[in-house]
Structure 1
Amino acid sequence: MTAPVSSAPRAPVDVPLVLERCRAVVRPALSEAVGRMHPWVGEMAAYSFGWCEVGGASTAASGGKGVRQALAVLGAEATGAAGRAGVPAAVAVELVHTFSLLHDDIMDGDPVRRRRPAVWKAYGTGPAVLAGDGLFAQAVETLAAAGADASAMRMLSVALGDLVAGQADDLLFAARPWTGPERVRPAEYRTMAERKTGALLGCAVALGALLGGAPPPVVAALDRAGRRLGLAFQAVDDVLGIWGDPEVTGKPVHGDLREGKKTLPVLAALGSPSSEARRLASLLTSGADPREAAALIERAGGRAAALHEARGHLGAAEAALADVSPRGTAGDELRALSAFLVRREL
């Protein structure tokens, strides 16, 4: 695709406004998909989106920014298609993402999601598993009802397979030691993060482009861009999981350290030859004060290393976007959205 030539200066992109616009385009179809579910399962799905309370009373709780929805809509627009061409992709990916969050909260034992009781705490573990299954089934049905071909179905199934593999690795990492030959290495962590976080972001923008009529090379490039964005996003998320403001993240300060999660800043710090790294390994093994651990990670360079890596992945994502020369304003909006997601701590 060839971008239109213009000498006029481009106005800055208002990313919250872009997210709001894309949510507005997708919401009717997303609501319709949830409405096709069994009433009780649909209520749990609506609760997870922030649309209702337990029992079904309407509310306006936070249901997330709708990042994957926006990526799918912008992916379609990047091909020159109308944003609505990417709506089935947006709905399918959002349903899969929400299904994964429901099951993740159960596996991790997280009682809170977006400052409300997680679905499993509000409705019970069994019902939450069922709601996740229902969301996944509806994601497949959404693409089928839109007349998506086998390549679109395969793209979603590949992303789901990667997501499952990433989650499996993440769970297995918890049982591995902090140091020694069996320790988790940063390269392994990157593979896990690309699968668990990047695969669905790549699928969102690429599936939107595919439904918008993009040729295979463009679809593949957008998938690469989304996956690298996922790696950058996860690196920053790991930083916020240790040092983030609870008022912004909705999680307690040093939360990831309290839970013993093997995140990128920790792994980078442990790989440092510094004396702080040796003290950190001892501290993590004993499960001592997370505040001291956070300070050691920072002094050992873990925070700086994670943010440096995030910058690198963001640059790679932007390069992949440049390769496809998105049409209209979609390229500017995709680049701005990527930077918005990653530069929360940069």
Structure 2
Amino acid sequence: MTLTLPGALGTGPGADLLAEARCLVEPGLRACGERLPAQARRWAGYHLGLLDAHGRPVAAATGKAVRPALAVSCARAVGGTGREAAGAAVAVELAHAFSLVHDDIIDRDEVRRHRPAVWKAFGVPAAVLTGDVLLALAHQVLADAPGPAKGRALSRLSRSVIELVEGEALDVSFESRSDVTQDEYAVMATGKTGALMGCACALGALAAGAGEARASHLASFGRHLGVAFQIADDLLDIFGTPRSTGKTAGSDLVTRKKTLPVLAALASASPAARRLAALYASPSPPTEEQVRQAAVWVAEAGGREAARKAAELQLDLAFAALDDADPAPSAVRELTALARLLVDPAS
């Protein structure tokens, strides 16, 4: 697994799906912004990459659109079209944006997509309110979408956000604990990342008229993919670069997060594991050199390789769930390509 620039994920069916999803959701995101009062529109538009810090329109610098891509492809998987999933795609992207703006506050991450995070640019109160309004917009978009499944869609989104919040709460609690297990990490990652990715899959399928059983199988695909994606993101934080992540290098190590590579490394009996444990137990903030050395220790203690294998296992489980949904062959190809691209961009 070679982790590369998240915003430039190459070519092929997976990359084409992401590009299609970005084109599909950008007009919807801009339209949502126009519904807001001026101040909230400025903050939300900035976070979404549609406005600069002064509220002026810019060429879209939005994220990868992973969740919209899942919604679009899962609509096709059950015989529908990507256009039918437009509302679902916008809604899940707004919900994801809500989680990111609050996550940056919690983690004190100062940079998001190569520019100051909302809390850093406008202050913490503005960032809290931005997250609140983005989540409200997500529900409004689903409520306004055509079709008979909007009640089930709204219920799924609400349940997924509750699970996402629980995952975030677990992630925060891990920072003050020294006894976190890899099984607990899996529960956290399923909530923090898997819940909304699974929701995206289900909402796309429901928008295209799928029954509950097929939507649930596709949701399971997205949940397992989400865990694999979270593991890959953990690896990227430790072994990537600010250019590839858009964030401060090693930020998870700075805050002593119990990510899977770290947990796997700490579980080994190697000298590198003992050094890493000592650093994590130190009351003093790590220096830049200590953060770089910690990354070396994670690799030497086997954490990097163990995380790669765990991500592959989650992908296997995701593909099994996808098969259970009896999807259209063309959707299988693009969902498989997307999954591989997200977890192993060099594959």
1:78, distance to aligned residue in structure 2 (A): 1.0
What is the aligned partner in structure 2 of residue 132 from structure 1?
131
**Map 1:118-157 → 2, pairs under 5 A:** 118-147=117-146, 148-157=149-158
Distance between the aligned counterparts of 2:108 and 2:274, measured in 1? 30
Structure 2 distance, partners of 1:125, 1:284, is 28
Q: Partner residue of 2:25?
A: 26
Note if contact 2:13-2:338 (Cα within 8 Å) is conserved in structure 1: no
The RMSD of aligned alpha carbons is 1.7
Question: Does the residue aligned with 2:327 lie in a helix, a strand or coil?
Answer: coil
Secondary structure of the equivalent of 2:268?
coil
Aligned to 1:180: none
Separation in structure 2 between the aligned mates of residue 73 and residue 302 of structure 1, nearest angstrom: 35
Q: Structure 1, unaligned stretches of length 5 or more? A: 1-11, 178-182
Q: Which has the larger radius of gyration?
A: 1
TM-score, L = length of structure 2: 0.90
What letter is aligned with 1:119? V
Separation in 1 of the partners of 2:39 and 2:279? 46
Q: Are 1:89 and 2:83 an aligned pair?
A: no
2:291 alignment partner in structure 1:
290
How far, CA to CA, are the matches of 1:69 and 1:149 in structure 2? 17
Q: Closer, same or farther in 2 for the Cα pair 1:310/1:230, shift >3 Å?
A: same
Alignment-derived partner of residue 15 in structure 1: 14
Give yes or no for contact 1:297–1:303 (8 Å, CA) kept in 2: yes
> Which residue does 1:218 correspond to in 2?
214
What is the SS of the residue equivalent to 1:329?
helix
Query: Which residue of the partner structure matches residue 334 of structure 2?
Result: 333
CA distance in 2, matches of 1:272, 1:81: 48
Q: Under a length normalisation based on structure 1, what TM-score does the superposition of the two structures give?
A: 0.91
Do 1:268 and 1:302's aligned partners in 2 also have CA atoms closer than 8 Å? yes
Q: How does 1:238-249 map to 2 (within 5 A)?
A: 238-249=234-245
Q: 1:321 is matched with which residue?
A: 322
Between the aligned partners of 2:292 and 2:66, the Cα distance in structure 1 is 32
What is the match of residue 259 of structure 1?
A: 255
Deviations 1:281-311 (A, max 9, x none): 1232125522222222211111100000001
CA shift, 1:345, in A, is 6.8
CA distance in 2, matches of 1:345, 1:186: 26
How far, CA to CA, are the matches of 2:45 and 2:211 in structure 1? Answer: 35
The aligned residue for residue 3 of structure 1 is none
Residues paired across the two proteins, number: 330
Distance in 2 between residues matched to 1:306 and 1:343, nearest whole Å: 12
Partner Cα separation in structure 2 for residue 280 and residue 16 of structure 1: 37
Matched, 1:46 2:51: no
Amino acid at match of 2:295: A
Identity %: 48
Query: Which deviates more, 329-338 or 19-28?
Result: 19-28
Partner of 1:184: 180
For the residue of structure 2 that corresponds to 1:322, the secondary structure is helix
Return the alpha-carbon distance in structure 1 between the equivalents of residues 13 and 72 of structure 2: 16
Q: Answer whether contact 1:236 1:345 (CA < 8 A) is retained.
A: no
**1:174 corresponds to 2:170:** no
Q: Aligned ranges for residues 194-233 of structure 1 at < 5 Å?
A: 194-233=190-229
Letter in 1 for 2:183: A
Q: Conserved in 2, the CA contact under 8 Å of 1:91 and 1:139?
A: yes
The 2-side partners of 1:149 and 1:17 are apart by 28
* Distance in 1 of aligned mates of 2:270 and 2:121: 45
